[in-house]
Each structure stands twice: as C-alpha cells, then as structure tokens.
A and B are shown apart, each in its own frame.
Chain A
C-alpha cells in the first residue's frame, strides 16, 4: 500500500515520552518528514529525512526509522507539545503523501 498509517491519537502525561508511529510500505526506501500543527495554525516541520531536527526545534524531539515504520519521539513531553502530528513521505509513483495525522493529548 502507498498509504501512510498513523494512530489517530496518543495520550501521555507531562514529563513522559510520547511515541508517534507512521507505517508505510515505501518507507524503507524513502525519507519521512514530520510536522506539528496546533489548532488554527500552519504546520511546522519538526523532523526531516527521518532523523534530522530543524534549527529551533527542541532537542526532546527525535526521529527514528526501522523497516516500514518511522517514529517521532518526544521525550519529557510538555503541555505546549499538544498538537496534531503528520508524517509525510513519497509513494511508489513519486507522489508526496501524508499520514492521516495523530492527535497528541497531554493529560
């Protein structure tokens, strides 16, 4: 499948670690990108090329890749991290696709 599959929601308490997964058949051969989108705002890039963190993004954000799954990890989650998170990659036809998004709730 060319789709990217994300869990609809993830909930963690402040200070805990949040892991958001993104699965897709093309991921072993393509980089993944992650975006954070807060309500009413434009998306912000928080990870690119699987594991690269843009300047200005806190070190608690990290990325990893294993087989058909990529993971965005947020260590020591803070209330301000509550947002929707989207993964993005390229499918087999060379078209960019997004995952369905994961709502991160900080309890």
Chain B
C-alpha cells in the first residue's frame, strides 16, 4: 500500500514561488501518476494537474498553465509541485494523490485516486 508524506507548511510573499514535495513509500512509481489538488479556505477541491513519473509526462489544468510545474524524482520516490507568481488567491491546502493507472500499448486509464497525502498549507501574504 502506497503512503504519501508531504512537506511542511509554507508562508510566501506575493510574486514568489513555492515548491511542495510528496514522498511516496511502500511502492515505486510504476503504474502510478501523481495528481495535485488544492483547497482554498472554506472552498471545494480543485484539480491542478498531474505527472506520470514512468513516462516523464505532465498535464496541467488550463487555469495553471505557465505557472505550475510538476515533476518526479524516481531515485527518491518523491514528486514535486512548484507554483510561481504567487498571489493571495493561491492560499490553500495543497494535496498530492496517487492515481493508479492501467496502461496498454497505446493508452493509460485511471483506476482510482488513492491514497492522498496529508496536505500542505501554503499561505501567500505580504
């Protein structure tokens, strides 16, 4: 069973960048994507994007295109989400999740998103 442990809370100034880590254990990156979701205070869940470490690919929500970079280091089984040009509206809890995939020769299909990390609070304030 994969377990995810995220990095600690961050306080950042507007215009700066934040990099959140998500360390996996109990399994390798094989057959998993890492998905990132955020939740602003009192609001719902928002999908930001994801990366498939075994292919080295990433896909981002249009809203974050140009501002977010999602990567993975297979040697340390750690995924990263970096968000730049921070503004107050980016204040949120950021979650990573493993997306279990089934891949054939031509395509990958999602089985489930499970488990999730504990979340990382990012506060953007001057």
Contacts and interface: CB of A to CB of B under 8 A. Distances in A.
Interface of A: 31, 33, 35, 37, 42-45, 48-49, 52, 54, 86, 88, 93, 95-101
Contacts of A45: 112-116
B116 A98 contact: no
B32 interface: no
B117 A98 contact: no
Interface in B80-124: 95, 110-119
A78 B89 CA distance: 36
Which secondary structure dominates where chain B touches chain A?
strand
Given A49-B111, A98-B37, 14 more contacts: A31-B110, A33-B113, A42-B118, A42-B119, A43-B45, A52-B112, A54-B112, A93-B62, A95-B47, A95-B61, A98-B45, A99-B44, A100-B44, A101-B45
Interface residues of B, number: 19
A39 to B, nearest CB: 11
Contacts of B114: 45, 48, 54
Interface of B: 35, 37, 44-47, 61-62, 95, 110-119
A98 B46 contact: yes
A99 B114 CA distance: 18
Contact of B116 (A42, A48, A95): A42
Contact of A86 (B45, B110, B115): B45
